[in-house]
Amino acid sequence: MDRFDLLVIGSGPAGEKAAAQAAYFGKTVALIEHAAVVGGACINTGTVPSKTLRESALYFSGLKQRGIYGIDYSLREGLTVQDFMRHKDQVVAAERKKIEQNLAAHKVEYIRGTAAFENAHEVSVRRENQPEQKLHGEVILIATGSRPHRAPEIPYDDQQVFESDSILTMERIPQSMIVVGGGVIGCEYASIFAALGVRVALADGRDRLLPFLDAEIAERLRAKLEKLGVQFYFGERVAKTEIKNSDVHLTLSSGKSLNADTALFAAGRRGNIDELKLEKAGVEVNNRGLINVNERYETSASGVYAAGDVIGFPALASTSMEQGRLAVCHAFGFKYKQRIASTMPMGIYTIPGISAVGETEETCREKQIPFAVGRAHYENNARGIIIGDTTGMLKLVFRRDDKKLIGVHIIGENATELVHIGSTVIEMGGTLDTLIELVFNYPTLSEMYKYAAYDGLGNLAGHKMREG
């Protein structure tokens, strides 16, 4: 039996970074991957592909140029799925290569196969046309990620009815699409296909998009998507899905009917745990099929840890990486990384993009935190005008008593880059005065932080201060 200090199951963001972290500090590490390629959903079917397709949609549709030059032209003639997917394929290939190189550089032993627990310290690995391999790990990290939930009543054929993984195998750009689910994945793909000129309808059982977002930001997104042509059906669940005469026909709970060339169901994911035989290790899962962990990412079995999508929310590549690193630092007593920042930013790659960190107006009310807000708009910012984004907004949420920054919410170009200024100020306990004292390059979108802070001071004092 081959023995290692650490066994990692899964090569997505959590698994790769955990393996490299432990190996960097001299531990012997083996990484087991079930799929034919490294990277997990992040690289192959989720984060990187969808974000790259967003850029392709912006390029082929000319949306950015419309804001700058007033150009309004149709989608490039003769655009094929191959054209649309080409850049995505190149980026995915490059990211896979980077992961392979990182594992090799850290001397992590890479094992292709399907892992299953024998006990809390041993796993067996099944490999095609090869004998089963037994591995022992003093510590084992489960980082197997998640996959789309495929409800049995939905007639998935991956030709007309897709989920968020299989949509990447589509053979043609449809004329119309129904997106079921107003979460992150549903909103991202709805905006991408709407930008390409596809007629998109989005149905969701809730009364708004992305309920975890600040309501003002979510409403701005809805309005922008509506301008792109997306039709919304809120408070609606899908009662029946049928493929009729080459069309997808959906009957909603209200009795309304929707018809389109294609349908994308983006209504939840489930952990990849089916083949792990977790019961042999004593690893408990919750009623959603996700692994329970404590604040150190240790499962109910001593020495067995879990990180990334397989443990559930927030299920972001950025947080998964840090969870994996932190898990092995705790497991081996490394003094290098003992905590993750108390607030973690999230990025949503819709068109327009959104990023947020910390408290919203709604959570402040729920927690009875006395708060005020400050806003700055792209239309009043020189850089915003230069790049043609005149509808974006940066919003600050801060405490009334000490002006301490507790939330940042951005919708618009470069939102996912800009948010890190705010998250750093929050983590350092900074206030509106911190932002006012900072010097920002001009012209930049970043300087909106200063003017949002001035606006916040004006709101706090009971009068409006002019932005600019």
Q: Domain boundary at 246, 267, 288, which? A: 267
Amino acid at 388: G
Q: Which residues contact 180 (CB under 8 A, 6 or more apart)?
A: 186, 202, 203, 204, 238, 250, 263, 264, 265, 266, 267
Instruction: Calculate helix-pair angle for 448-461, 415-427, nearest 10 degrees.
Output: 60
Residue 284: other Cβ atoms inside 10 A: 13
pLDDT tens by residue, 303-348: 999 999 999 988 889 999 999 999 999 999 998 888 888 888 999 9
The answer as to whether 381 is a domain residue is: yes
User: Is the pLDDT assigned to residue 255 strictly greater than 70?
Assistant: yes
Residue 66 is predicted with a pLDDT of 59
- Cα radius of gyration rounded to whole Å, the chain: 24
The answer as to whether 424 is a domain residue is: yes
Q: Domain boundary at 248, 267, 286, which? A: 267
Q: Write out the residue range of the structural domain in which residue 377 sits.
A: 352-461
pLDDT tens by residue, 426-462: 999 999 999 999 999 999 999 999 999 999 999 998 8
Q: Does 100 lie in the same domain as 42?
A: yes
Phi/psi for 99 (5° steps) reads -65, -45
Q: Does 168 lie in the same domain as 121?
A: no
Pairwise CA distance, residues 117 & 300, whole Å: 14
Token pair in block for residue 386:
């230069």
Q: Does 113 lie in the same domain as 15?
A: yes
Pairwise CA distance, residues 465 & 468, whole Å: 9
Query: Which pTM was predicted?
Result: 0.90
Q: Does 412 lie in the same domain as 373?
A: yes
The answer as to whether 346 is a domain residue is: no
Paired with 111 in beta bridges are 32
| Number of domains present in the structure of the chain | 3
Q: Does 291 lie in the same domain as 310?
A: yes
Q: Which residues contact 192 (CB under 8 A, 6 or more apart)?
A: 50, 53, 54, 57, 351
CATH number for the domain spanning 184: value is: 3.50.50.60
Q: Does 8 lie in the same domain as 143?
A: yes
- The structure tokens 């968020």 sit at 164
Q: Does 185 lie in the same domain as 84?
A: no
Paired with 136 in beta bridges are 3, 122
Q: Does 389 lie in the same domain as 261?
A: no
The answer as to whether 110 is a domain residue is: yes
pLDDT tens by residue, 179-220: 999 999 999 999 999 988 899 999 999 999 999 999 999 999
Q: Does 427 lie in the same domain as 364?
A: yes
Instruction: Calculate helix-pair angle for 13-24, 317-332, nearest 10 degrees.
Output: 30
Residue 467 is predicted with a pLDDT of 45
pLDDT tens by residue, 70-94: 555 455 556 677 777 888 889 999 9
| Mean pLDDT to the nearest integer, 97-107 | 96
Residue 367: other Cβ atoms inside 10 A: 9
Q: Domain boundary at 267, 289, 306, which? A: 267
The answer as to whether 16 is a domain residue is: yes
| Mean pLDDT to the nearest integer, 35-62 | 85
Q: Does 304 lie in the same domain as 363?
A: no
Token pair in block for residue 263:
């349908």
The answer as to whether 344 is a domain residue is: no
The answer as to whether 409 is a domain residue is: yes
CATH number for the domain spanning 422: value is: 3.30.390.30
Q: Does 132 lie in the same domain as 236?
A: no
Percent of the chain at pLDDT exceeding 90: 76
- The structure tokens 């920042």 sit at 341
Q: Does 399 lie in the same domain as 365?
A: yes
Instruction: Calculate helix-pair angle for 184-195, 215-227, nearest 10 degrees.
Output: 30
The answer as to whether 358 is a domain residue is: yes
